[in-house]
């Protein structure tokens, strides 16, 4: 356990810790480009030079191991002038692209130059011209002129995605990052290179020019792409008029560091799979009057559901109503459903999982085959049985009213069964074939529009926070359930916070802090 002094502060660190990490532990952020905690050390950029007593030359903090009695300065005159010189080198061939560069506003070259820049250019020579703005994969655009050759992207494809698409070609000032011949940056984690590129050399094709980064607001959330539950930030259009980006609100998704789950990374499906939040949404409740679905207000739609449910209930008792909840719902919504349908109404036909669902692609890094964020939550909260049995009963006419949350059950075998169901209520966010054939459609909110928790496949209960208002007339599902309950003569809490507190004994805010997760083996458990 070496103890060293950094800028006059003493710190004791584990053996093997580097100076840059030791400095981070006491809140000193040494400027860096090539160093990334998730990648191997390269020592290329020379930006993290520090002065260490007894060493004649400046040392790079990312590569130097902390030793006992080391005295490090990160702010001495020599260090500052070294930083200035390094920036001068890096910028000698860097184009003045900031006005058209998407990274501008979150660019480390800009940021460090503001602190350590030379401001007066001494460079009289012509800049080396390289290839600008060309796609290197389905999601990424490369601008070789902007690259500062930190090789983070190369190391990522070598060490994390292990797909080896990128490399450094040529020498000296003519070095460029490029694809190896015949390759394309199309691995399932390719989007991460955009995040780790400290400058605007790698930009996101989906996000390009949609929005300036300083207009973005950000909220902590959980990816709903699979049962891994990667921690993400939802970046949404916070301050600009809606006609930008065609009314799209969520502009991009970035991974949020969580050492236990996704570290710094997320997969491309999760990163680019936010389209459903703003497209094809069900915006108002709908009722089938004669043959067509027509927009309706909440009150009559809910009243119709309640009436039909009551009629079925008085005719056939607890067997007359079937409910299929979904692993897309949050724990709080599942709890509300359980309380209303299982505990209060004592329904016998309650299912959750869709046996026909196509599994997604899985690998040994992040992606799980289960495409639902909350399958574990469904299991933990005691839902068993799958949709098939319930659908069959609905087709046979045993179940009079079928309430379906989220699932699309209109294809193939399920579709044939669903066709015969007498009265279908669909509670969901987006239009699909099931919604189109339902008798009453109630619009729910996506995870971007509500608060709640998902339980990932390891049993971590993780919080996602509300970023946006529910689109159109749609409502948060626990509110829908609570209102439906009121019409049926029960009283249920509507807010996720209340439900969570009753469940775990702590408030949602206490759970999250930074939106962190609860380990299944510690403290709070179901």
Enumerate binding residues for another protein (CB under 8 A): 97-100, 132-134, 208-210, 212, 214, 240-241, 243-244
How many residues of this chain bind ligand SF4 (CB under 6 A)? Answer: 14
Closest approach of ligand SF4 to the CB of residue 216, in Å: 18
Does 511 participate in binding ligand SF4 (rule CB under 6 A)?
Answer: no
Closest approach of another protein to the CB of residue 245, in Å: 8
Half-sphere exposure of 45 (CA within 13 A, CB side): 29
- What does 202 bind: ligand SF4, another protein, none (CB cut-off 5 to 8 Å by kind)? ligand SF4
Closest approach of another protein to the CB of residue 183, in Å: 21
Q: Which of 13, 20, 150, 366 binds ligand SF4 (CB under 6 A)?
A: 150
- What does 149 bind: ligand SF4, another protein, none (CB cut-off 5 to 8 Å by kind)? ligand SF4
Residue with tokens 């602190």: 115
Does 109 participate in binding ligand SF4 (rule CB under 6 A)?
Answer: no
Name the β-bridge partners of 231.
222
d(CA 320, CA 315): 7
Closest approach of ligand SF4 to the CB of residue 4, in Å: 29
Does 39 participate in binding ligand SF4 (rule CB under 6 A)?
Answer: no
Closest approach of another protein to the CB of residue 128, in Å: 15
Nearer to another protein, 180 or 214 (CB): 214
- Residue 305 per-residue DSSP state: H
- What does 420 bind: another protein, ligand SF4, none (CB cut-off 5 to 8 Å by kind)? none
d(CA 502, CA 42): 50
Name the β-bridge partners of 252.
235
Q: Going by DSSP bridges, is the β-strand pair 231-237/250-255 parallel, antiparallel, or unpaired?
A: antiparallel
- What does 52 bind: ligand SF4, another protein, none (CB cut-off 5 to 8 Å by kind)? none
Nearer to another protein, 178 or 451 (CB): 178
Proportion of the chain in helix, strand, coil states, percent, rounded to 5:
30, 20, 50
Which of 424, 389, 418, 384 is CA-nearest to residue 405? Answer: 424
Q: Which of 11, 60, 61, 177 binds ligand SF4 (CB under 6 A)?
A: 177
Residue 141 has a CB neighbour count (10 Å cut-off) of 19
d(CA 448, CA 446): 5
d(CA 440, CA 437): 9
Does 251 participate in binding ligand SF4 (rule CB under 6 A)?
Answer: no
Nearer to ligand SF4, 82 or 202 (CB): 202
- What does 243 bind: ligand SF4, another protein, none (CB cut-off 5 to 8 Å by kind)? another protein
Separation in Å, CA 84 to CA 60, 77, 145, 149, 150: 15, 11, 20, 18, 17
Using CB under 6 A, which residues numbered 185 to 204 contact ligand SF4?
196-199, 201-202
- What does 416 bind: ligand SF4, another protein, none (CB cut-off 5 to 8 Å by kind)? none
Q: Which of 50, 153, 160, 511 binds ligand SF4 (CB under 6 A)?
A: 153
Closest approach of another protein to the CB of residue 99, in Å: 3
Half-sphere exposure of 217 (CA within 13 A, CB side): 10
- How many residues comprise the chain? 526
Does 494 participate in binding ligand SF4 (rule CB under 6 A)?
Answer: no
Q: Which of 18, 93, 151, 187 binds ligand SF4 (CB under 6 A)?
A: 151
Token pair belonging to 199:
């400058």
Closest approach of ligand SF4 to the CB of residue 153, in Å: 3
Residue with tokens 């009057």: 289
Q: Backbone dihedral region of 26: left (phi > 0), alpha (psi from -120 to 50 degrees) or beta?
A: alpha
Token pair belonging to 320:
């007359």
Contact region for ligand SF4 (CB under 6 A) — 14-22, 141-149, 369-377, 409-417?
Answer: 141-149
d(CA 234, CA 216): 9
The contact set with ligand SF4 (CB under 6 A) reads: 147-153, 177, 196-199, 201-202
């Amino acid at each position: 356990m070496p103890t060293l002094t950094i800028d006059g502060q003493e710190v004791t660190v584990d053996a093997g810790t580097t100076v840059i990490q030791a400095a981070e532990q006491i809140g000193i952020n040494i400027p860096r480009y090539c160093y990334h905690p998730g990648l191997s050390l390269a020592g290329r950029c020379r930006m993290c030079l520090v002065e260490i007593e007894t060493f004649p030359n400046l040392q790079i903090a990312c590569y130097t191991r902390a030793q006992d009695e080391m005295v490090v300065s990160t702010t001495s005159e020599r260090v500052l002038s070294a930083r200035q010189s390094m920036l001068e080198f890096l910028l000698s061939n860097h184009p003045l692209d900031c006005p058209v560069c998407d990274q501008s506003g979150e660019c480390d070259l800009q940021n460090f130059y503001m602190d350590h820049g030379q401001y007066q250019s001494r460079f009289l020579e012509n800049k080396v011209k390289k290839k600008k703005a060309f796609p290197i994969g389905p999601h990424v655009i490369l601008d070789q002129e902007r690259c500062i050759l930190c090789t983070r992207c190369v190391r990522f494809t070598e060490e994390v995605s292990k797909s080896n698409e990128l490399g450094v070609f040529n020498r000296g000032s003519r070095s460029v990052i490029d694809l190896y011949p015949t390759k394309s940056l199309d691995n399932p984690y390719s989007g991460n290179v955009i995040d780790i590129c400290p400058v605007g050399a790698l930009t996101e094709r989906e996000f390009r020019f949609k929005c300036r980064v300083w207009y973005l607001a950000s909220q902590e959330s959980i990816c709903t792409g699979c049962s891994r539950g990667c921690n993400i930030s939802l970046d949404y259009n916070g301050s600009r008029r809606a006609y930008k980006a065609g009314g799209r609100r969520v502009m991009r998704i970035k991974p949020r560091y969580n050492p236990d789950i996704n570290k710094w990374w997320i997969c491309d499906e999760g990163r680019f799979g936010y389209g459903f939040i703003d497209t094809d949404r069900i915006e108002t409740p709908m009722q089938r009057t004669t043959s067509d679905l027509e927009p309706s207000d909440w009150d009559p739609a809910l009243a119709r559901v309640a009436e039909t449910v009551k009629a079925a209930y008085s005719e056939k008792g607890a067997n007359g109503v079937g409910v299929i909840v979904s692993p897309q719902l949050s724990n709080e919504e599942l709890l509300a459903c359980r309380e209303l349908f299982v505990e209060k109404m004592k329904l016998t036909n309650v299912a959750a999982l869709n046996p026909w669902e196509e599994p997604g692609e899985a690998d040994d890094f992040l992606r799980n085959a289960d495409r639902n964020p909350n399958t574990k939550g469904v299991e933990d909260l005691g839902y068993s049985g799958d949709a098939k049995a319930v659908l069959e009963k609905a087709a046979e006419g045993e179940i009079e009213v079928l309430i379906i949350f989220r699932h699309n059950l209109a294809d193939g075998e399920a579709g044939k069964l669903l066709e015969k169901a007498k009265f279908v209520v669909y509670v969901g966010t987006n239009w699909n074939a099931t919604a189109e054939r339902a008798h009453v459609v109630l619009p729910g909110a996506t995870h971007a529009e509500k608060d709640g928790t998902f339980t990932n496949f390891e049993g971590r209960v993780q919080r996602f926070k509300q970023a946006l208002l529910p689109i159109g007339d749609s409502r948060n599902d626990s509110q829908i359930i609570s209102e439906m309950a009121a019409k049926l003569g029960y009283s249920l809490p509507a807010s996720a916070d209340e439900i969570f507190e009753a469940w775990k004994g702590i408030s949602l805010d206490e759970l999250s802090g930074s939106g962190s997760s609860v380990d299944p083996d510690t403290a709070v458990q179901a």
